[in-house]
């Protein structure tokens, strides 16, 4: 039955390369397909761009550094990025940046003139770390931090630079030492590697796109990983007690705690790094992501011991069924058939 459901999910997505992977009580199943010319052969070492699903990695890094005493979620971001500079009456704190309640816009205003000519390929490429930090230092939040939810790649990127400053290490080194290493994610990186990464495509599913270069927005979308590494990441969330490193175990436990509610009737919850929907057998945690040429979905349900990873090598387009198919696979025992809402 699991194989049939995976095959149905793969068939529902129109992309050159599609992979759906499921772990249930530690037993893994993987199916692939797509419209590409090459036969579908799963490659354990082929990495896919996670896009905004990378934010769940950043959130876990924040909780790990908090558990180690390097930072605290209530730290003003300025304390790490511009020590000694007054934070003002309503400082933007690290937790605000991770929970999209900082008051910052989705992206810095001065990014757009540089990004528009490359919007279908690498819009962030020429906007480096120094520019992200400088934009934050001159930013004026649109509302008091902590008051309103507004999704912000800008905010999470600022958080990444604050964590690097606090730990005294570049992002890739910090991520590897504090997270990828302890979790055994040998085929996960924030850097593009020719030959190791799947090729993305534009909306037509034919025209290739270059490997993503996120410039200074590393924390918001730089992760690229194999489906098996992504399942390992999710399985650690399902069973933190099985992770050898004590600080990482503590950090994983913190990742499930609700931090805010929003939406009609406050039905939908957010933990530090995940969107959370209620189900009949407990909460479903998930995050989706999209880049200029790829899509990704990560989700897990502790109540059923289930984790789902889905990746596709085509840019998101209106009416796309990718996220709905992945969400349905995650919640396929629900009375509404796992309808994404």
- For 51-109, the DSSP string reads GGGGHHHHHHHHHHHHHTTS--TTSBTHHHHSTTS---SSPPBHHHHHTT-S---SS-G
Q: For position 261, which CATH number holds? A: 3.40.710.10
**If DSSP codes are grouped into helix, strand and coil, which group holds residue 261?**
strand
Q: What is the pLDDT of residues 57-110, one digit of tens each?
A: 999 999 999 999 999 999 999 999 999 887 666 799 999 999 999 999 999 988
Q: What is the pLDDT of residues 221-243, one digit of tens each?
A: 999 999 999 999 999 999 999 99
Average pLDDT value for residue range 245-256: 96
Between the two ends of the chain, the Cα-to-Cα distance in Å is: 25
108 touches 137 (CB < 8 A): no
Average pLDDT value for residue range 111-134: 80
- C-alpha–C-alpha distance, residues 152 and 160, integer Å: 13
Report if residue 117 sits inside a domain.
no
Report if residue 137 sits inside a domain.
no
**If DSSP codes are grouped into helix, strand and coil, which group holds residue 163?**
helix
Handedness of CA 87, 93, 98, 104 (dihedral sign): negative
82 touches 162 (CB < 8 A): no
This prediction has a pTM of 0.94
314 touches 208 (CB < 8 A): no
Please state the domain count of the chain.
1
Report if residue 304 sits inside a domain.
yes
Q: Could you tell me the residue range of the domain that residue 310 belongs to?
A: 2-74+171-330
């Amino acid at each position: 039955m699991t194989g049939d459901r995976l095959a149905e999910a793969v068939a529902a997505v129109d992309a050159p390369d599609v992979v759906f992977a499921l772990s249930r009580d530690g037993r893994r199943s993987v199916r692939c397909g797509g419209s590409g010319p090459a036969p579908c052969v799963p490659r354990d070492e082929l990495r896919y761009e996670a896009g905004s699903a990378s934010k769940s990695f950043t959130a876990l890094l924040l909780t790990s550094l908090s558990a180690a005493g390097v930072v605290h979620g209530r730290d003003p971001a300025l304390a790490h990025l511009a020590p000694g500079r007054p934070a003002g009456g309503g400082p933007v704190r690290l937790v605000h940046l991770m929970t999209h309640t900082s008051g910052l816009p989705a992206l810095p205003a001065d990014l757009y003139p540089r990004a528009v000519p490359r919007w279908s390929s690498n819009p962030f490429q020429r906007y480096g770390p120094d520019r992200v930090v400088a934009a934050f230092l001159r930013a004026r939040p649109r509302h008091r931090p902590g008051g309103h939810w507004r999704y912000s790649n800008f905010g999470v990127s600022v958080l990444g630079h604050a964590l690097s400053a606090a730990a005294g290490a570049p992002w890739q080194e910090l991520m590897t030492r504090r997270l990828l290493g302890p979790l055994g994610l040998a085929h996960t990186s924030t850097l593009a590697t020719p030959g190791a990464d799947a090729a993305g495509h534009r909306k037509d599913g034919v025209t290739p796109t270059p490997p993503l270069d996120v410039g200074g927005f590393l924390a918001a979308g730089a992760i690229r990983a194999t489906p098996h590494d992504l399942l390992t990441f999710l399985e650690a969330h399902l069973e933190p007690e099985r992770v050898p490193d004590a600080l990482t175990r503590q950090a994983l436990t913190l990742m499930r705690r609700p931090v805010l509610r929003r939406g009609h009737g406050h039905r939908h919850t957010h933990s530090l790094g995940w969107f959370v929907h209620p189900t009949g057998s407990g909460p479903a945690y998930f995050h989706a992501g999209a880049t200029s040429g790829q899509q990704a979905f990560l989700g897990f349900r502790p109540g059923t011991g289930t984790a789902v990873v889905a990746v596709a090598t085509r840019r998101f387009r209106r009416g796309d069924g990718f996220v709905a198919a992945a969400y349905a696979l995650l919640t396929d025992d629900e009375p509404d058939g796992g309808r994404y809402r």
